[in-house]
Chain A
Amino acid sequence: MNHSGGQKHWRSLEQLADTAEFRQFLHREFPQGASEMDNSWSRRNFLALMGASLALAGLTGCRRPEEKIVPYVQAPEEVIPGIAQRYATSMPFGAGAYGLVVESHEGRPTKIEGNPLHPSSRGASNAFMQAAILDLYDPDRSRHVLHKGHQKSWDDFVTFWREQRSSHVDDRGASLAVLCEPFSSPTMARLKREFLNTFPNSLWAAYAPVTDESIFDGTKLATGELLSPVYHFDQADIIVSLDADFLLTESDNVANARAFANGRRIDLQRVDMNRLYVAESGYTVTGAMADHQLRVQSSRIIAVAIALASELAAQGLQLDYMRGIPQPDLSADQLSWVKAIARDLMQARSRAVIVAGRRQPAVLHALVMAMNAALGNIGRAVSYVSPKDLAPSNTADLARLSAAIKSGRISTLIVLGGHPVYSSPVDLNLPESLKQVETVVHCGTHVDETAQQASWHLPETHFLESWGDARAADGTASVVQPLIEPLYGGRTAAEMLQFIVTGNEVRGYEIVRDTWKALLAGADFEKRWRAVLHDGLLENSAAPSATITIRHQEIHDLLSQQPSEFKDAGISNLEVNFAVSPSMFDGRFANNGWLQELPDPVTKLTWDNATLMSPKTANELGVGNGDVVSLTYRGRALEIPVWIVPGQADYSVSLELGYGRSFAGQVGNGVGFNAYALRTSDAPYFDSGLAISRTGRTYELATTQEHGSMEGRPLIREGTLDEYRKNPRFAQEMVEHPPLVSLWKDRAYNEGYQWGMAIDLNACIGCGACTIACQSENNIPIVGKTQVRKGREMHWIRVDRYFEGDVDNPRMAHQPVPCQHCENAPCEQVCPVAATVHDKEGLNTMVYNRCIGTRYCSNNCPYKVRRFNFFNYTKDYHETIAMAQNPDVTVRSRGVMEKCTYCVQRINEARRTAKREDRQITDGELLTACQQACPAQAITFGNIIAPDSQVAKAKADSRNYHLLGELNVRPRTSYLARLRNPNSELSEA
């Protein structure tokens, strides 16, 4: 330590805090982690840090939005410590938005749920929505305005831009361009209009790597106008999906999953369900739900569609434009598949729907739209709406922008969100051309790949910190309102755009309110605005179904241009697929540990992507799981390990997008392999011409499920609809066992509340939303790739995935497994210290404080649902991650066992409320986190001895069975058997 005189003595923390270091520190608001400590480790620094932490601990306690927002469910006068508040908001996602209700504890949001009023979620959610809360607290988020890598202040940018702006106003924006993420937001659309008014000669491009661009293009081809399909799967008896993963990765998946599951729900009144056909190149969760899944290379999907249209025409459907279109060469199997579907479609007519995926080209969408129109289902099972306030992704615009940059015309480029440097088509070479632009202004939440290339980086707020708005897929106008004052400072996208346009700073709240003054034109604005804030959406603002006129001639012309012979890919000419990741999506969630550790629903891989191929393809290439191969496509190469997935089309390999990021943050950097390195603008989703060679190296992949076969065990019990009609108790009769008797008189569990759960395997789509919801609700840590490899993942509810049947044409099924809360629990008996015991309501409780960690309970659990803290996973939580924890749930430390509690904290909250109001807990008042999140409503929970409760009814269903019930453990969680509704014509074949 350096002492240079007596005046170094300090008298108080305040005096010490008034140093340059401290000011700088406060400016940056949060310590950046360990690196801060390493540099100059002196008492001085240490105390300064301590002092700052104290100050910050105070600050974090009072982060509340300043503007008035209306509590959603409970409306206390002030925040009552310990009582959570819930606010409605929305999560903009692509060209849509998910309606949310966010739980907030003393001013910090902790849990996201779907907004029951909102058509996009109806109270349910998906893994992305659930995990978005973790992104809010991401310690790697950008905190400072950066200019060429140096820290500046917002005011510096204000000064800079005001100068720049005036010069751009002068040349009417001729050298100005904007690259934004697609949005459908009234405010952003208004600001975009203002921008184009102010800078009429400027270029505006919207681009994201995974969008509905080809769907919009298809509707334009078919009808001449841009339309967006909205599906009502509950109105459909026959559903044909052509490469559409509408249950998980396509737009509006939460609403789709709910409607689809409703169409499959069997009860005493209705013993019928929809039938789903899926043609796809590799299994998706939608394919797993299919009654008939056809493995077909992505490039041949169009052939299947044309054959289907021809067949429909042959069977008498009015499809004039198919006249003269040659039949594509399909295999006999594929042809019989197509014929069977056509007959089903013709029977169902308006109660049938054909869905095409966003990965398919526009022409297919046009054809599908025409087929739907001919079937007469438009306005019933599918409606097309004209999207308002939409800035759709447009690759052509991006190419134009790229060309303009190359020509040297653009001197200022403003990048609003997204990660174009990472994810734009590789042939446009955007990273290289950005170097030609004098000023690149990047607004984003992270100092990511794009920010690295930008001259100015402006930190953007998370949507939970922002005022904004968005339209859902069906056009419903929704508000985005903040739950917390921005943790790291920053501006909302609207605030930045407003400033860029006008040069004046306006608060986000005012910007959004201004837009809504127009939307809510008329009397009582304040009252209606408050109602919108309360509900999170504007009632009855969904777009009306558009009337469609199909342009038959155009479709005919397009189809005539299609090649009549579709060459199969082969071993020397493989098909490459760029698939949307169910956890990373397009890469935006790369720094989200929950999603990185969420097992892929199909491969069960975590923390990596791989090149997925069928067993046959792998066999011919001579590669196995984990072998690193070199992919060569159009002169570009990528090295990536192999993962073999039964059900993948032969000679078609799949690469999930969204991995291999270099500047995502501490969690996401270098995780997986960047498939964008091969992706070009003309073949964004699939193409032939891929070559694979072995490198001889191997790579360790982390999967949570090594074994995919049920080994003939009756775990997921499944039957066909016909079998069910013949014998509704088929699932219960699948296992024969001696009478399950006890040596002594058991506790009856026949009074008070007796909690139980039923999981309908016929509804469960295996998406994993429950896993993330549980992780968020119950403070479950992530453990990282090496720990997952060791088998130490902590998920309290996991989704098991099994393949059945032929390895080349397998069927896939999912089964969520939480703690079964056995009445006769094997875990309880073996614990030497009675750390896991039963309560009188039938809960198998886990007493963390009492647990000494022998792990016998886990060994003795037949379901292996118990999770152990092998290390102190929660010790090194960043301060902000600690804020994401649910205060109602203990954060576990090292050496203790944990497992699903049936969300006992929610039970107790409901119990307190009921007691205060002097009543019983009503059925449906209390939802477990997994149940609440489940988009397919597969999970019911409640009091099993209340005869009218949903769960009691589910358990009375003839499909109800206990997993491993023959062990006499008497689980409280039961399953409803899965049903398939196969086409008898195809089953016989």
Chain B
Amino acid sequence: MPGKWNSVERRVTQPINKMAPAVDEIVLPGNPTFRGITDKISGIVEAKTSGIWYALFIPSAALALMFVVLMCHLFWTGIGVWGVQVPVGWGWAIVNFVFWVGIGHAGTLISAILFLLRQRWRTSINRFAEAMTIFAVICAFLFPTIHVGRVWVIYWTMPIPNQMDMWPNFRSPLLWDAFAVGTYFTASLMFWYVGLIPDLATLRDRAKSRLRRILYGIFSLGWRGGNRQWRHYELAYLVLAGVSTPLVLSVHSIVSTDFATSVLPGWHTTIFPPYFVAGAIFSGFAMVMTLSLLARKAFGLQDIITVKHLERMNLIMLVTGMMVGYAYATEFFIAWYSGNDYERFAFINRAFGPYAWAYWIMITCNVVVPQLFWFKKLRTSIAVMFAASILINVGMWFERFVIVVTLSRDFLPSSWQYYSPTIYDVGMLVGSFGLFLTLFLLFLRYLPMVAMSEVKGILPQAQTHTPGAPSHA
């Protein structure tokens, strides 16, 4: 049972750096007690599995299973089951890869960068944003792995000592990609797991069944909550935040080099790294938004994930959406300014060629839709932001699609060809959502979806003896 929360908003200062300006507002309405938070969040994990959860989990798991079956078919038959061809050698698999990697970015951004920037409102959403990152990166990693022609030798991309005495080709952006995404996954997983340890210990201590006690016991690594442990923990968390922060920028920059290092018109552009990072944050926040709105509703977390949280995320989407829009405009300007006919053609073709429909979906969703968030009324409306967050992710998926199908018309018109996906392409995109949702629902069911210890850390009770804190009312 949650404790009684007051309706009065209180102001607190940062717990970590005393010198930082007190800018943050209290973002949790009421005045929850430590126990209240613990009960609320742990209660979700400990309660009997709800019907809604099953109703969501079964179809998700079915889609994930479909994904596995489709992959088996793919491995058995060959990637010809997809629509890929010459000239469009990459199809939905790579679109999905970039899409999912992009989704992952919000998690790291929220957990690491906002942490370093003392944006304390992040505590309500960082845990499942991080979880989302992990699962999105898992989905992302699958696609480039399965898209190769001979998946059974995919490990050749790794610098593993071998009888052939062969190194991989360090000049290839695909290799950088494998390293970048691999590093990103490892760092995100570590970050997430370290953050989970105190909460896992809480669950262990509250566990009523032996199995839970053992499992949570193992994963909480003997956490006792002693001062020394907290000191080590906070230091480790800070270090991991420091490590993760550059990854937010590097991963998608490197993913963008998959395209930018090529010679192709429409791909060979230096704007790609910042533009991809902005787009990734944009889409990641949209995904966090979609999921948090659903979780908030399903588990009654309105008091922990408040409209103020949501509004801030919307503002970030407005900013990153405009960065993306600016990048689109710059691409066009540079295509014209470069005087390169192939480049000019590629962009005119994007907007008016056979894939114009995809381009205008992208522009509408990514540039027009976020403009709604200029209006306070709209950016605080749950319905509007839910619809917008979904549209933005549709738009961002299409952004990657538009980039990939630029291949369909490159230098020699003789090889121009229209690319269409097959049912297998569609099935695998849908299946990856199934996998993502399955993992996410398992997370919601078995792990604390809000970082209890961190939320407690920003409660006024935790600040009472900090100099500069408001006095007891």
Q: Which residues of A contact B (CB under 8 A)?
A: 705-713, 715, 787, 790-792, 798, 800-802, 815, 817, 826, 829-834, 850-856, 858-860, 862-864, 866-872, 894-897, 964, 967, 969
Q: Is the CB of B86 within 8 A of A858?
A: yes
Contact of A802 among B78, B144, B157, B413 (CB under 8 A): B413
Q: Is the CB of A862 within 8 A of B412?
A: yes
Q: Is the CB of B150 within 8 A of A851?
A: yes
Task: Determine the chain A residues whose CB is within 8 A of the CB of B261 once the complex forms.
Answer: 829-830
Contact of A790 among B83, B153, B175, B345 (CB under 8 A): B83
1/0 contact string of B247-264 vs chain A (CB within 8 Å): 000000000001001111
Q: Is the CB of B412 within 8 A of A800?
A: yes
Q: Is the CB of A859 within 8 A of B149?
A: no
Q: How far is the CA of A895 from the CA of B258 in the complex (A)?
A: 20
Contact of B89 among A707, A855, A895 (CB under 8 A): A855
B326 adjacent to chain A (CB < 8 Å): no
Q: Shortest distance in angstroms between B267's beta carbon and chain A's nearest beta carbon? A: 8
Additional 13 contacts, C-beta under 8 A, given A832-B174, A870-B84: A705-B414, A706-B417, A791-B86, A833-B157, A850-B156, A852-B153, A856-B172, A856-B174, A859-B87, A864-B86, A867-B86, A868-B89, A894-B149
Q: Is the CB of B414 within 8 A of A802?
A: yes
B410 adjacent to chain A (CB < 8 Å): yes
Task: Determine the chain A residues whose CB is within 8 A of the CB of B77 once the complex forms.
Answer: 871
**Given contacts A863-B412, A870-B80, are A833 and B86 in contact (CB under 8 A)?**
no
Task: Determine the chain B residues whose CB is within 8 A of the CB of A872 once the complex forms.
Answer: 78
Chain B residue nearest to A709 in the complex (CB): B413
Q: Is the CB of A830 within 8 A of B173?
A: yes
B299 adjacent to chain A (CB < 8 Å): no
**Given contacts A706-B416, A864-B410, are A830 and B150 in contact (CB under 8 A)?**
no
Task: Determine the chain A residues whose CB is within 8 A of the CB of B175 once the complex forms.
Answer: 832
B178 adjacent to chain A (CB < 8 Å): yes
Q: Pick 19 A–B contacts, CB within 8 A, sort by A.
A: A706-B417, A707-B413, A709-B413, A800-B412, A829-B172, A830-B262, A831-B174, A832-B156, A832-B174, A833-B168, A851-B149, A851-B150, A854-B148, A858-B87, A862-B410, A862-B412, A864-B411, A868-B86, A871-B77
Q: Is the CB of B412 within 8 A of A864?
A: yes
Q: Shortest distance in angstroms between B268's beta carbon and chain A's nearest beta carbon? A: 10
Q: Is the CB of A832 within 8 A of B78?
A: no
Contact of A710 among B86, B144, B262, B413 (CB under 8 A): B413
Q: How far is the CA of A709 from the CA of B85 in the complex (A)?
A: 21
* Most chain A C-beta atoms within 10 Å of own C-beta, residue among B149, B156, B345, B407: B149
Q: Is the CB of A834 within 8 A of B78?
A: no
Q: Shortest distance in angstroms between A764's beta carbon and chain B's nearest beta carbon? A: 14
Chain B residue nearest to A893 in the complex (CB): B150
Q: Is the CB of B86 within 8 A of A871?
A: no
Q: Shortest distance in angstroms between B254's beta carbon and chain A's nearest beta carbon? A: 13
Q: Shortest distance in angstroms between A854's beta carbon and chain B's nearest beta carbon? A: 5
Q: Which residues of B contact A (CB under 8 A)?
A: 77-80, 83-90, 144, 147-150, 153-154, 156-157, 164, 166-169, 171-175, 178, 258, 261-264, 341-342, 345, 407, 410-419
Q: Is the CB of B263 within 8 A of A860?
A: yes
Q: Shortest distance in angstroms between A626's beta carbon and chain B's nearest beta carbon? A: 14
Contact of B411 among A801, A853, A858, A964 (CB under 8 A): A964
Task: Determine the chain B residues whose CB is within 8 A of the CB of A711 once the complex forms.
Answer: 345, 413
Task: Determine the chain A residues whose CB is within 8 A of the CB of B86 once the complex forms.
Answer: 791-792, 858, 864, 866-868
Q: Is the CB of B84 within 8 A of A832?
A: no
Q: How far is the CA of A715 from the CA of B413 in the complex (A)?
A: 9
Contact of A834 among B154, B169, B412, B415 (CB under 8 A): B169
Contact of A855 among B83, B90, B419 (CB under 8 A): B90
Q: Which A-B residue pairs are the 3 nearest by beta carbons?
A: A853-B149, A895-B149, A870-B80
Task: Determine the chain B residues whose CB is within 8 A of the CB of A869 once the complex forms.
Answer: 78, 149
Task: Determine the chain B residues whose CB is within 8 A of the CB of A790 once the complex forms.
Answer: 83, 85
**Given contacts A867-B86, A895-B150, are A707 and B78 in contact (CB under 8 A)?**
no
Contact of A787 among B80, B168, B174 (CB under 8 A): B80
Q: Is the CB of B174 within 8 A of A854?
A: yes
**Given contacts A713-B341, A866-B86, are A829 and B414 in contact (CB under 8 A)?**
no
* Most chain B C-beta atoms within 10 Å of own C-beta, residue among A715, A798, A895: A895
Task: Determine the chain A residues whose CB is within 8 A of the CB of B258 once the complex forms.
Answer: 856
Chain A residue nearest to B409 in the complex (CB): A707
Contact of A852 among B80, B154, B342, B418 (CB under 8 A): B154
Task: Determine the chain A residues whose CB is within 8 A of the CB of B89 once the complex forms.
Answer: 855-856, 858-859, 868
**Given contacts A706-B417, A863-B411, A895-B78, are A826 and B262 in contact (CB under 8 A)?**
yes
Task: Determine the chain A residues whose CB is within 8 A of the CB of B419 once the complex forms.
Answer: 791
Q: How far is the CA of A420 from the CA of B171 in the complex (A)?
A: 62
Q: How far is the CA of A364 from the CA of B108 in the complex (A)?
A: 82
Chain B residue nearest to A872 in the complex (CB): B78
**Given contacts A791-B87, A830-B262, A832-B178, are A852 and B416 in contact (CB under 8 A)?**
no
Q: Is the CB of B416 within 8 A of A833?
A: no
Q: How far is the CA of A792 from the CA of B82 in the complex (A)?
A: 12
Q: Is the CB of B263 within 8 A of A832?
A: no
Task: Determine the chain B residues whose CB is within 8 A of the CB of A867 once the complex forms.
Answer: 86
**Given contacts A790-B83, A832-B174, A854-B148, are A969 and B414 in contact (CB under 8 A)?**
no
Contact of B156 among A710, A826, A833 (CB under 8 A): A833
Q: Is the CB of A831 within 8 A of B414?
A: no
Q: How far is the CA of A51 from the CA of B173 in the complex (A)?
A: 52
Task: Determine the chain B residues whose CB is within 8 A of the CB of A969 once the complex forms.
Answer: 263
Q: Is the CB of B263 within 8 A of A826?
A: yes
Q: Is the CB of B263 within 8 A of A715?
A: no
* Most chain A C-beta atoms within 10 Å of own C-beta, residue among B80, B150, B164: B80
Task: Determine the chain B residues whose CB is within 8 A of the CB of A895 once the complex forms.
Answer: 78-79, 148-150
Task: Determine the chain B residues whose CB is within 8 A of the CB of A870 once the complex forms.
Answer: 78-80, 84-85, 149
Chain A residue nearest to B82 in the complex (CB): A870
Q: How far is the CA of A99 from the CA of B288 in the complex (A)?
A: 73
Task: Determine the chain A residues whose CB is within 8 A of the CB of B84 once the complex forms.
Answer: 855, 870
Q: How far is the CA of A851 from the CA of B166 in the complex (A)?
A: 13
Contact of A859 among B144, B169, B264, B345 (CB under 8 A): B264
Q: Shortest distance in angstroms between A897's beta carbon and chain B's nearest beta carbon? A: 8
Contact of B87 among A864, A894, A967 (CB under 8 A): A864
Q: How far is the CA of A710 from the CA of B342 in the complex (A)?
A: 12
Q: Is the CB of A862 within 8 A of B411?
A: yes
Q: How far is the CA of A969 from the CA of B174 in the complex (A)?
A: 21
* Most chain B C-beta atoms within 10 Å of own C-beta, residue among A711, A854, A856, A871: A854
Chain B residue nearest to A895 in the complex (CB): B149
Q: Is the CB of B178 within 8 A of A800?
A: no
* Most chain A C-beta atoms within 10 Å of own C-beta, residue among B85, B258, B416, B419: B85
Task: Determine the chain B residues whose CB is within 8 A of the CB of A897 once the complex forms.
Answer: 149
Q: Is the CB of A859 within 8 A of B90?
A: yes
Q: How far is the CA of A897 from the CA of B173 in the complex (A)?
A: 18
Q: How far is the CA of A866 from the CA of B263 in the complex (A)?
A: 15
Task: Determine the chain A residues whose CB is within 8 A of the CB of B156 once the complex forms.
Answer: 832-833, 850, 852
Q: Shortest distance in angstroms between B338's beta carbon and chain A's nearest beta carbon? A: 11
Q: Is the CB of B410 within 8 A of A896?
A: no
Q: How far is the CA of A830 from the CA of B175 in the complex (A)?
A: 9
Q: How far is the CA of A204 from the CA of B37 in the complex (A)?
A: 104
Chain A residue nearest to B149 in the complex (CB): A853
Q: How far is the CA of A872 from the CA of B87 in the complex (A)?
A: 20
Q: How far is the CA of A855 from the CA of B89 in the complex (A)?
A: 6
Q: Shortest distance in angstroms between B350's beta carbon and chain A's nearest beta carbon? A: 15
Q: Is the CB of A853 within 8 A of B169?
A: no
Q: Is the CB of A852 within 8 A of B169?
A: no
Q: Shortest distance in angstroms between A674's beta carbon and chain B's nearest beta carbon? A: 29
**Given contacts A792-B80, A852-B149, A856-B89, are A715 and B412 in contact (CB under 8 A)?**
yes
